[in-house]
Amino acid sequence: MDQVKRRTRGKEPLSKRYHAYHNRPLQGRQFVMQCSHQSSKYDKWGCVVKAPQLEDVDEAVQGIETRAGPNRTTVADVAGKVIGHVPRKICNVLAAGLAVDFSIARAVCVFTGEFQHGGAASGGGPKLVAVYHLEVVRQRDAVEIADSIRPHLTDKDRLWIY
């Protein structure tokens, strides 16, 4: 096999501005979402995080509420929609790997079910805690990507390459 695939994982607060989309992921359990490059007039290296398509969601959880009250939504309502953005210092690496040099074959973000609240957050709103899974094309890409992301992780965050 010419291409060796490795995975890189790092735990990092996900989704600046998830509140701006009014789409909330499933709380209290892991929820797998896709990361994709989506530039805007504000950030040409932006990456969004999207909920899985409805056909990829287990029927048993499709009716579970993600938001209660007058703006009630369910997992089925947010399926396929943008949940938020990858943090800037990480999305620069993801966008380059996904859309420029194609060193990242796939980027998945697993919401852990936990929110971080901690005073005024840059970019606004609480953060969603997530684990990123990056499938890279070549082993040397995994090392380079890990070296690029590692400086932006906190002491509590982890980065694995396997």
In the chain, where are the structural domains located? Answer: 6-161
Q: Which of 40, 155, 31, 29 is nearest to 91 (CA)?
A: 40
Predicted local confidence at residue 89, as pLDDT? 78
The DSSP bridge partners found for residue 39 are: none
> What is the residue-level pLDDT of the chain in tens, covering all 162 positions?
222 233 334 444 444 455 556 677 777 677 788 888 888 888 888 888 898 899 998 899 899 988 888 888 899 999 999 888 888 778 888 888 888 888 888 888 888 777 776 655 555 566 777 788 888 888 888 888 888 887 876 555 555 554
CA dist., res. 129 & res. 160, Å (int) = 17
CA dist., res. 143 & res. 162, Å (int) = 10
Predicted local confidence at residue 154, as pLDDT? 59
Predicted local confidence at residue 117, as pLDDT? 67
Q: Which of 154, 13, 144 is nearest to 87 (CA)?
A: 13
From edge to edge, which strands make up the β-sheet containing 159-161? 82-85, 47-50, 31-37, 104-116, 127-136, 6-14, 159-161
CA dist., res. 70 & res. 126, Å (int) = 21
Give the global pTM.
0.72
Predicted local confidence at residue 6, as pLDDT? 36
